[in-house]
Chains A and B, each alone.
Chain A
């Protein structure tokens, strides 16, 4: 098909604003899927995605549509991940499109994430079709939201489409507007091949499958292709288009979206953002925008049962086949034994990996408190990147420590500005500026230490603003901070897995809170348990879990021994979920105590 009749677009929306439902309606209206014969929200195919209502991986789907002008069109909807952890992937998906539907919830209005993705889209020169979704809600404030959108993209109010993915209102208009507003691709079919990988997944039968947008040239089945970032050559064993399932085709021309299967085994070989070209006639340069993704948050993952170490390794290996952002190296903890130091894009990414290890691989794991990567300058001039607090050199040889800062945008109704300022002080933020989107929405910018954002930041922001504020952020730069290592000692033995790096001014409060919280998490046992917080050799806080005085169920008569035994066996199972540190049994939750301790003010 002629490029004239192709439209490549994506949807920009905040979580819950109805992106997936709207996408489903488009698929129905274009008869790409039959009415409701598939699971709700077809684009979110992972269980986790459906449960959390967010998109973790990008997806793409091709629709065919006969316009009111009687012409046939191909629409490629390229879905984007819906979380700040995956902003790089979002940027690559946007780069594969010529236009975007901007979906704003009629009741919720514009949110921070929408704005940052919108700006990314505008940077990528995408045509924007503004849509107000859920206009049928009783709480809809269509006029208000219209004003916000006008303020944001400078369009005319009349250009904004009212829609309801639930009732189907506006769906036809959206399809027509895609034809008229979004430019057709303008690639050079006869040029040298340049295809952008905007996502890649691992399939256990086929290996790495790259989702590509061809910008110039033609990709044919059987071609020898080159991935330009790695300069690896592979044969294009299969190419095709994406409908509900993959449909092989002979070629993909400039302007088209589809998939590519080579012999590549691992998504690390088919990196998001990379450019595919032909080995025999390569393009002189790659498409712009490719970046190596670097993990921002690190945490140790340990099997509860040490025999599971190899299983954990296998599981991480399998997960990383499909997740090029996940990195892991073996590490040893005195307290937890053999495990892995894992790097993640952010906290959500970390939670997803943990959940998948437990659910899909049936592993019981302990994950340690997450931390950022610190840049430690030593007195001898050496600079070290530290991703594990246990590795922090002695204070004596450190000249300074730098920590990563992020630039955060918070959008909030003005009445919460005071609370947000308070939160920003608590979280050591640097205030940058503030603007108004309209009279009901302030747009605030801060620089936050990333380390502060990975602990309870979202929850606090939510409670400080009753859920009305939204947040988006991007890495900014490394800045010097007064940081110290806080150790936790259990009966005098340091528990390396609980060491954290904290700001000096907060260390006492932190130590007090953490020991108090651990006291609640560690059950009474045969022996007294002393929990201490220390900076270097100085103890700054102590709590004691008193020894258990009584734990005995009286009755063991009537001859029913089996029942009593099973009860105790069950207790043993419970103990198995704990880690034995010396003679102290420590439940898993304790290793994440730092994450759950806030609000713990008694």
Chain B
């Protein structure tokens, strides 16, 4: 098991508020602030409602503030939430506490305050170091601001920073993207998430594409951009440890996100937050006002719930495992499903290995770089039925 993958459960808190809605984003977020006064108390009540077995049995070792824009929280608000978490759950001493921060919403003072409250990892939504891109994405910050926020975060003492980038933006060329990669290498963050833009239904980008107002990058360019990203970052010493995640060493793997990928339990709080606790997945209502109302009325905010049967759970194991560098842990697989991965999927694995898409290695089955590039094509082949 890689360093920083612990098997201990994690906590997620969704802060839905944003200054503006970005045109590509399909996470639940709102710009209206009128529900905000009621939100923190509601959130705390939801957190407290989980203060019981089995959730309180084992210590949690990650807390992740996602959004939305959690950096819009005041230090006071963040303190209240952290306090509620600490009062409700056993928290491991070396807990990774990540907060998503957008450049332009956060200054030196706030950074210091967050740091002193225990936040020890920042995930900054830079998205690009190119002002044309940033404008197209509907971001409120400029490239200069992004660089400045990064150095302010360093000054505030953050020694574990992740930067988000998005590629395959409409109009983006390979040359411009390479400049982006140069800029990010110069900053040398501990962790980089580089996402291929997805035109998610319900976003403005999706609508614009349908209306012909923006033209998506051609497939061949997307492929080039992705290959270039992997090449450039690996050359700079980053490890591609998941389809879109790079880190400067195993100790900088996102401990929290890794839980999503290997069926480690996590609890999510706030509107639209997702939870997994064996063998159930559930998620909350996607409305801040609805969330407040339900909590006030003492009613459940869970809007989706599913029980994973063995078949589903197995497919997830393959789906998530194959997206990671580690791959599928064969011993763990056999322990969980009482039959060997290689016997269950002999035909598929042989074919993939023959094509150079995957290999067995260190008791794992993992995709090669070539395989990772087409993992969405590969994964469905592992679905029974």
The chain A residues found within 8 Å of chain B, CB to CB, are 525-527, 548-562, 564-565, 568-569, 571-572, 575, 583
B158 close to A (CB within 8 Å): no
* A568-B323 in contact given A526-B374, A556-B260, A561-B281 (Cβ < 8 Å): no
- Cβ-closest chain A residue relative to B323: A556
* B373–A549 CB distance below 8 A: yes
Chain A: minimal CB distance from B45 (Å): 21
| A550 pairs with B260, CB closer than 8 A | no
For residue B370, which residue of chain A has the nearest CB?
A549
Of B257, B306, B323, B357, the residue contacting A526 (CB under 8 A) is: B357
A550 touches B374 (CB 8 A): yes
Task: Give every chain B residue within 8 A of A551 (Cβ-Cβ).
Answer: 373-377
B260 to A553, Cβ gap below 8 A? Answer: no
In contact, B319 and A550 (Cβ under 8 angstroms): no
B222 within 8 A of A: yes
Looking at A525, A550, A553, which has the most chain B CB atoms within 10 Å of its CB?
A550
- Residue on A nearest B64 in the bound complex, by CB: A559
Nearest CB of chain A from residue B214's CB, rounded to whole Å: 18
Does B243 lie within 8 Å of A552, measured CB to CB?
Answer: yes
* Chain B contacts for A568, CB-based, 8 A: 315, 319, 376, 379-380, 383
Query: Smallest CB–CB gap between A578 and chain B, Å?
Result: 11
Q: Which residues of chain B are within 8 angstroms of A565 by Cβ–Cβ distance?
A: 312, 315-316, 319
Chain A residues closer than 8 Å to B351, beta-carbon distance? 526, 583
Q: Are A569 and B315 in contact (CB under 8 A)?
A: yes
With both chains docked as a complex, state the minimum distance between the C-beta of A557 and any C-beta of chain B, in angstroms: 5
In chain B, residues 287-315, which have Cβ atoms closer than 8 Å to a Cβ of chain A?
A: 304, 306, 312, 315
Complex: A288 Cα to B378 Cα, angstroms:
65
B203-241 Cβ-contact flags toward A at 8 Å (1 or 0): 000000000000000010011001000000000000000
Q: Is the pair B316, A561 in contact by a Cβ cutoff of 8 Å?
A: yes
A47 to B383, CA, bound (A): 37
A50 to B64 Cα, complex, angstroms: 60
In the complex, how many residues of chain B place their beta carbon closer than 8 angstroms to a beta carbon of chain A?
A: 49
The answer for the CA separation of A525 and B66 in the assembled complex, in Å, is 36
Do B383 and A572 have beta carbons less than 8 Å apart?
yes
**Residues of A close to B375: CB separation below 8 A:** 551-552
Give the residues in chain A near B273, CB-CB below 8 Å: 559
Closest to B282 in A: A562
Is the CB–CB distance between B219 and A550 below 8 Å?
Answer: yes
Report A566 CB to chain B, min CB distance, Å.
10
Residues in A whose Cβ lies below 8 Å from that of B223: 549-550
Contact A558 B66 (CB under 8 A): yes
Q: How far is the CB of A579 from chain B (nearest CB, A)?
A: 15
Interface string of B349-380 (1 = CB under 8 A from A): 00110010100000000000000111111111
- B222: A residues at CB distance < 8 A: 550
Q: Is B333 an interface residue (CB 8 A)?
A: no
Check A554–B377 contact: CB distance below 8 A. no
Chain A residue contacts of B274, Cβ below 8 A: 558-562
Contact call B198/A555, Cβ cutoff below 8 A: yes
User: Are B374 and A558 touching (Cβ within 8 A)?
Assistant: no
From A550, A559, A569, A583, residue with most partner B Cβ within 10 Å? A559
Q: Which of A526, A561, A562 contacts B377 (CB 8 A)?
A: A526
Residue of A nearest to B378 (CB): A526
Query: Chain B at the A interface: mostly helix, strand, loop or mixed?
Result: mixed
B341 within 8 A of A: no
Interface residues of B in 225-283 (CB under 8 A from A): 226, 242-244, 257, 260-261, 266, 268, 273-276, 281, 283
How near does chain A come to B313, taking the closest CB pair, in angstroms? 10
Bound-state CA distance A569–B308 (Å) is: 14
Residue of B nearest to A527 (CB): B355
**CA A208 – CA B374 in complex, angstroms?**
56
Q: In the complex, what residues of A have CB within 8 A of residue B320's CB? A: 556, 561
| Supplied contacts A526-B378, A556-B323, A559-B275, 9 more A-B pairs, CB within 8 Å | A526-B357, A550-B219, A551-B375, A552-B243, A553-B376, A554-B244, A561-B316, A561-B320, A571-B380
B129 at the interface (CB under 8 A from A): no
Decide: B276 and A569 in contact? CB cutoff 8 A. Answer: no
User: Within residues 313 to 346 of chain B, which ones have a CB less than 8 A from any CB in chain A?
Assistant: 315-316, 319-320, 323
Which residues of chain B are within 8 angstroms of A560 by Cβ–Cβ distance?
A: 274, 283
A555: which B residues are within 8 A, CB to CB? 195, 198, 244
Residues of B with C-beta under 8 A to A562? 274, 281, 283, 304, 306
Known: A549-B374, A583-B351. A575 touches B380 (CB 8 A): yes
Contacts of A556 in B (CB 8 A): 242-244, 260-261, 320, 323
**A554–B27 alpha-carbon span in the complex (Å):** 15
Q: List 23 A-B contacts (CB under 8 A).
A: A526-B377, A551-B375, A551-B377, A552-B243, A552-B375, A553-B196, A554-B196, A555-B195, A556-B244, A556-B260, A556-B323, A557-B260, A559-B276, A561-B260, A561-B281, A565-B316, A565-B319, A568-B376, A568-B380, A569-B383, A571-B376, A575-B380, A583-B351
Separation of A572 and B378 alpha carbons in the complex (Å): 10
Q: Which residues of B contact A559 (CB under 8 A)?
A: 12, 260, 266, 268, 273-276
Chain A residues contacting B198 (CB-CB under 8 Å) are 553-555
Q: A525 CA to B196 CA in the complex, in Å? A: 20
Q: Of the candidates B194, B283, B372, B377, which one forms a contact with A525 in the assembled complex, judged by CB atoms under 8 Å apart?
A: B377
Query: Which chain A residue shows the least CB distance to B281?
Result: A562
CA–CA, A61 and B315, complex, Å: 59
Which residues of B have CB within 8 Å of A550? 219, 222-223, 226, 373-374
Contact in complex: A548, B260 (CB < 8 Å): no
Q: Given that A558-B66, A560-B283 are contacting pairs, would A552 and B373 also be in contact in the complex, using a CB cutoff of 8 Å?
A: yes
Report A468 CB to chain B, min CB distance, Å: 36
A551 to B219 Cα, complex, angstroms: 9
Tell me which residues across on chain B come within 8 A of A557, comparing CB atoms.
193, 257, 260
The 7 closest A-B pairs by CB, nearest first: A559-B274, A550-B223, A572-B380, A554-B195, A554-B196, A572-B383, A551-B377
Q: Smallest CB-CB separation from B220: which chain A residue?
A: A549
The docked-state distance in angstroms from the alpha carbon of A527 to that of B352 is 10
Q: Is the CB of A548 within 8 A of B377?
A: yes
- In angstroms, Cα B244 to Cα A595, docked, is 43
Q: Tell me the minimal C-beta distance from B171 to chain A in angstroms.
A: 19
Task: Please name the residue on chain B nearest to A523 by beta carbon.
Answer: B377
Which residues of chain B are near A525, meaning CB under 8 Å? 377
Residues of B within 8 A of A564 (CB): 319
Please determine whether A552 and B376 come into contact, CB atoms closer than 8 angstroms: yes
CB–CB A526/B355 < 8 A: yes
Complex Cα–Cα for A552 and B229 (A):
14
Kindly list chain A residues whose C-beta atoms are within 8 Å of the C-beta of B283: 560, 562
CB distance from A326 to the nearest CB of B (A): 33
